[in-house]
Amino acid sequence: MRSTIGFRVIALDPNFKKLSVEHIVSAYKRTKSRAILLDYDGTMMLQSLISTTTNADAVVILNNLCKDPKNVVFLVSGKDRKTLTELFSSSEKLGIAAEHGYFVRSNPSSVLRR
């Protein structure tokens, strides 16, 4: 099974049910607040592209998500805090959890802390 963005699904739990886009959009619009946690290492970027660059389209999407006052957006990664801070310095209001959550900052104006 292949997705349209180049990822391959190896296996799914037998009870897995795909969510419909209509259901997701409806729930998204109804909520008063949203916590959006994104895994950078493999979810946001293809494994082969993760090294030291960010995808400009991904940054635009992150910034658009962060602009909505109902959203709290965090990028979670195993990468070190210096690398993530440099890669996503232009992302407005983006929270970062570096080194698998060992260091966390709630927005770009704060420092990554344990």
Q: What range does the domain containing 39 cover?
A: 33-105
Q: How many domains does the chain have?
A: 1
What CA–CA distances, in Å, run from 106 to 29, 92, 100?
24, 11, 15
What CA–CA distances, in Å, run from 28 to 9, 13, 71, 113?
25, 25, 10, 30
In a domain, 27, yes or no: no
**68-113 pLDDT, tens per residue?**
999 999 999 888 888 888 888 888 789 999 988 888 888 666 665 6
In a domain, 9, yes or no: no
Residue 94's CATH number: 3.40.50.1000
In a domain, 42, yes or no: yes
In a domain, 114, yes or no: no
In a domain, 17, yes or no: no
**22-79 pLDDT, tens per residue?**
999 999 999 999 999 998 876 555 555 555 556 788 888 899 999 999 999 999 988 8
The C-alpha angle with vertex 86 and arms to 83 and 89, in degrees rounded to 5, equals 140
